């Protein structure tokens, strides 16, 4: 049986309503990081945030801040930036929206 990575697949993150794949550009990732940085405190206060089988916790934020973001900024994530930065932040954004944050 195929195991998904921790970022799990989420059709609504990678496919538009018409079923076509969404092309995620470097600028999209940068904008998502900007949203995260601008809303860091609000996000921190809202945690834990459950969404689609994932729960974003304080531990997730610590790892994201001290491991994931530095690796992304250093260009070390390459093709993984979509999954580990963009999709993670988009899913967090959706989770916060659903719980009214």
Read out DSSP for the chain? -PPPPTT---HHHHB-TTSPBP---HHHHHHHHHHHHHTHHHHHHH-SEEETTEEE-HHHHHHIIIIIHHHHHTT--GGGHIIIIIIHHHHHHHHHHHTT-
Q: Which helix (H) or strand (E) holds 28?
A: helix 26-38
Categorize the per-residue pLDDT at 11 as very low, low, confident or very high, splitting at 50, 70 and 90. low
Residue 5 has pLDDT above 70, yes or no: no
Q: Please compute the mean of the pLDDT values over residues 26-52 and round it to a whole number.
A: 94
In this prediction, residue 68 carries a pLDDT of: 97
Q: Please compute the mean of the pLDDT values over residues 52-75 and round it to a whole number.
A: 96
């Amino acid at each position: 049986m195929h195991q998904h990575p921790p970022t799990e697949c989420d059709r609504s993150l990678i496919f538009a309503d018409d079923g076509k794949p969404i092309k995620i550009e470097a600028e999209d990732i940068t904008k998502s990081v900007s949203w995260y940085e601008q809303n860091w405190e609000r996000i921190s206060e809202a945690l834990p945030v459950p969404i689609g089988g994932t729960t974003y916790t304080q531990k997730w934020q610590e790892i994201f801040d001290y491991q994931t973001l530095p690796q992304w900024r250093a260009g070390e994530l390459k093709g993984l930036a979509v999954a580990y930065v963009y999709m993670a932040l988009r899913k967090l954004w959706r989770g916060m929206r659903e719980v009214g944050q």
